[in-house]
Amino acid sequence: MKSQKTLVNMWTHNGASGVQSETIDLTYSPPRNDKKRRRQNSELQSVSSKKQAQWVSSAFGDFGDFADVSTSTQGQKAKNSSRSKNVTSKPDNPLQQAQQICRGAGIERGPPKNSKRRPQNDMELWSDKYAPKSQSDLAVHKKKISEVESWLQVHLTAKRKVNIIGFFVEYYSFLPIALLTGPAGVGKTATIKVLAKELKCDIKEWINPIATEYNKDFQNMSDFSKVEGYTSESQLSQFQQFLLRANKYNNLGIFGEESCSKKLILVEDFPNIFFRDASLFHDIIRKYSKVGSCPLIFIVSDSTSGESNERLLFPKDLQQQLHIENISFNPVALTSMTKVLTKIAQVESSQGTHKFTVPSRNVIESLAMSSAGDIRGAINALQFACLKDTGDLTWGSSVKENKKSIKKSSSKDNFKGKMSKEKSCETSASVESDLAAIGGRDTSLFLFRALGKVLYCKSKYWTWTIIETTYDDVVEKSHLSGDYFSAYLHQNYLEFYSELSDVERAADYLSDSDNLTVEWASRSVLQQYAAAVATRGLIHSNSARARFSSGGSGLGWKPLHKPQWYSVMKQARQNCDSARCLFKNYAKPPEVLQTEILPYISLINTTLHNPGQIAFIQDICKFSSSRFPGRSEKLDEKDVVPEDSLETDQQQQSVSDLKKVDNELKSDDTITNSQSKVKTGAEEEGEEEEFVIEEFDD
């Protein structure tokens, strides 16, 4: 652990003394020793992952590490950020430089201004070194940039003014708030920083303060409040203060930078308390939206596991209420990523401290692909790959050897839906480990894809064995409990069936799967089996699909839905509870109350005195007049499934529909791909180009 920590130091520390000895550490090890090298890899990865964890908007509350890094790098900075005034006053403020280096999700940046202070050494991460300087450097898609830019332009120039007399010069009825979402490392922060620079406006960024320590003993607890300098503020109030101050005051201009009138507040690092109680955050934002005038930008990274922070912090009703503009970023396109990587490699090989040959195009491409659109990860992987003592690692050769298969499987794994390892099962295992060695991303399946994999599956006798091995994997990778996964399957399976006898069998399998988890004590163990029964049952009982497969064309695209069961049950529970509370004086068992008393009360027109009772009776005894009540919320491609994801995405519907069409193309694509032979390189190119287009709706 200690070495890891020093490594962290090493990576963030810019050329201070004492680093050299540790650098030797790295290059020291005998290059032939495979085991050791593997460990090095993992160490390096853990370093980069740690850095990523820091970047990904502190969703993990990994405070200790962050504290470690920053306190050891610059005590001054730590002190500074421990106060509430940790405002990034200007990008080239020397104090903030370090912060920026820590978080630049950048692509390209020239040598820093005060580079004379820092001896040229390659301990700097390339992703920081080459952070983008101008719009043209950004690897983000042009349209996305212009979308953000126009938003910024509109809201920076327009002042929110309410004139007392009644003349509104420029008046926005709401405070501009933007929410940038997207996977980690696609350049959300970089885009904002670059654009802010170009539009000449200040970014005031919130960074979680490090908790102040009490070095005073608590003897004088009684006059605690009087002790100066040791009053602690909660992160919450600090955050509130920050918003207020950043909104109110301009830069002092102490560091000689010209103070500009335009500014925006950036929050990427949410105080941890908000993840526990999002309503606090909502309150603050609502409050701010009333008093504030300065545009507010939030950046939230997508995550595949656990609760989605976006849903937690920005529920749809809040977004609508405050008119929050939601701009979602897509993974960086393969072509632009390759371009950037090549450029960096060339610059670095000619100017860098140590010599290396520019990696071949194939290598760069495979790097780009394995990073799954995470450009920061890709650059870090490139840097690692170009280290002089890792040049002879086996991955290079294996990449060349299996070039085709890597291309196929990785593009599938990461871009197209991470689908179907049916084809190259035996190669993909080795390929996967190779990619992992050069910093590939964990290939977790988005739920959407996992479902598609089961529902669109064509059970063919010759893929039998492969199905047997892969489908437990699917459930596992979808990050869901088997229980929940089968609920998703249940919600969606009917549309994929055309024969009633198949449905009968499938429904029976689902019933079986639920029956397996009857015993509470053994539920956790049996859940996996239950999910397996459900998945396989659904795949195998669909005889129609099997027939389709020979023809090659699947049934058309079907939108996927979220399971209604949970929301229905929640609603039912709520109704039961309110029935019990409201009609307490009838003192009947719930079943009698709900099936007999209440319906008849509504028929009898009993005079009820409580308005709540009246409303409830009307609500509960009305059945929707339409013959078939509507269906549930559709499932978004990127959706991660929190237990309480019951908010509706009405406005996103259209967008997600588009996405789904895309995805359908993709998934169909993949399925056919898996059957067809390996394509030639040229075809491959064409296909990837096509992809880019699909991805961004050009």
User: Based on CB atoms, which residue is closest to other proteins, 9 or 535?
Assistant: 535
As given in the structure block, the two tokens for residue 210 are 């490090």
In the chain the first and final C-alpha atoms are separated, in Å, by 47
Residue closer to other proteins, measured from CB, 169 or 604: 604
Q: Choose one: 73-81, 140-148, 261-269, 583-591; the region binding other proteins (CB under 8 A).
A: 583-591
Q: Which of 46, 564, 674, 675 binds other proteins (CB under 8 A)?
A: 564
| x-marked contacts with other proteins along 515-554 as a string, rule CB under 8 A | x-xx------------------------------------
Instruction: Please select the residue that binds other proteins; options are 429, 525, 592, 658, rule is CB under 8 A.
Output: 592
- Region 337-376 residues binding other proteins, contact defined as CB under 8 A: none
Tokens coding 218: 């608590």
Which two structure tokens, joined as six digits, stand for 436? 């992992």
Closest by CA to 486, choosing from 523, 536, 436, is 536
**What are residue 299's DSSP bridge partners?**
180
582: contact with other proteins by CB under 8 A: no
The yes or no reply on residue 198 touching other proteins (CB under 8 A) is no
AA identity, residue 376? R
Binding positions for other proteins, 218-247, rule CB under 8 A: none
β-strand partners of 296: 177, 265
Q: Does 513 bind other proteins (CB under 8 A)?
A: yes
Closest contact distance (angstroms) between CB of 452 and other proteins is 19
**Closest to 293 in 3D by CA, of 452, 145, 161:** 161
Three-class secondary structure assignment of 129-153? HCCCCCHHHCCCCHHHHHHHHHHHH
Q: What 3-state DSSP class applies to 205?
A: strand
Alpha helix (H) residue ranges in 402-497: 403-410, 425-437, 447-455, 464-477, 482-493
User: Would you state the structure tokens that stand for residue 36, as one six-digit string?
Assistant: 């050791």
Separation of alpha carbons 104 and 266, rounded Å: 13
Q: Which stretch binds other proteins (CB under 8 A): 111-119, 296-304, 567-575, 686-694?
A: 567-575
One of 565, 642, 692, 696 touching other proteins (CB under 8 A): 565
In angstroms, rounded to a whole number, what is the distance separating the alpha carbons of residues 23 and 145?
39
Segment lying near other proteins (by CB under 8 A), choices 17-25, 123-131, 273-281, 564-572: 564-572
Site string for other proteins, 474-503 (x = CB under 8 A): ---------x---x--x---xx-xxxxx-x
Give the amino acid at 678. V
Query: Which of residues 291 and 568 has its CB atom nearest to other proteins in the complex?
Result: 568
- 351 or 585, CB closer to other proteins? 585
Least distance in angstroms from the C-beta of 565 to other proteins: 5
Q: Which stretch binds other proteins (CB under 8 A): 284-292, 403-411, 571-579, 640-648?
A: 571-579
Q: Is residue 212 a contact residue for other proteins (CB under 8 A)? A: no
Least distance between other proteins and beta carbon 584 (Å): 5
How many residues lie near other proteins (CB under 8 A)? 63
Q: Minimum distance from CB of 518 to other proteins (Å)?
A: 5
Residue 590 sits in the site that holds other proteins (CB under 8 A): yes
Neighbours of 37 (CB within 10 A): 19
Q: Which of 30, 256, 589, 611 binds other proteins (CB under 8 A)?
A: 589
Cβ count near 96 (within 10 Å) = 22
Phi, psi at 406, each rounded to 5°: -65, -45
Interaction of residue 504 with other proteins, rule CB under 8 A: yes
Site stretch for other proteins (CB under 8 A), options 129-137, 162-170, 592-600, 647-655: 592-600
CB closer to other proteins out of 74 and 517: 517
If the CB atoms of residues 177 and 593 are measured against other proteins, the closer one turns out to be 593
The tokens for 653 are 């519907």
Q: Taking CB under 8 A as the rule, does residue 587 contact other proteins? A: yes
Q: Give the number of other CB atoms < 10 A from CB of residue 361.
A: 11
Q: How far apart are CA 427 and CA 484, in angstroms?
A: 32
Residue 457 is a binding residue for other proteins (CB under 8 A): no
CB of 179 to other proteins, least distance (A): 32
Token pair in block for residue 344: 């960096």
Among 571, 610, 650, 651, binds other proteins (CB under 8 A): 571
Between 511 and 674, name the residue whose CB sits nearer to other proteins: 511
- In the list 568, 615, 658, 693, the residue contacting other proteins (rule: CB under 8 A) is 568
Q: Is residue 451 within 8 Å of residue 417, measured between CB atoms?
A: no
φ/ψ bin of 628: left (φ > 0), alpha (ψ from -120 to 50), beta (otherwise): beta
Tell me the residue type at 686: G
Quick one: residue 558, left, alpha or beta (phi over 0 = left, psi -120 to 50 = alpha)?
beta
Q: Which is nearer to other proteins, 232 or 522 (CB)?
A: 522
Residue list 607-646, contact with other proteins (CB under 8 A): 607, 620-624, 627-631
CA gap 55, 105 in Å, rounded: 8
Nearest distance, CB of residue 488 and other proteins, angstroms: 12
- Closest approach, Cβ 519 to other proteins, in A, equals 9
**List 215, 585, 682, 698, residue binding other proteins (CB under 8 A):** 585
Contacts of 506 (CB under 8 A, 6+ apart): 493, 497, 537, 538, 541, 542
Provide the residue type at 170 as one letter.
E
Buried b (16+ CB within 10 A) or exposed e, 388-422: eebeebebbebbeebbebbbbbbbbbbbbbbbbbb
Name residues contacting other proteins, limited to 133-192 (CB under 8 A): none
Q: How far is the CB of 501 from other proteins (least distance, A)?
A: 6
**Footprint of other proteins on this chain (CB under 8 A)?**
483, 487, 490, 494-495, 497-501, 503-504, 506-508, 510-511, 513-515, 517-518, 564-565, 568-569, 571-572, 575-576, 579-580, 584-587, 589-592, 594-597, 599-607, 620-624, 627-631
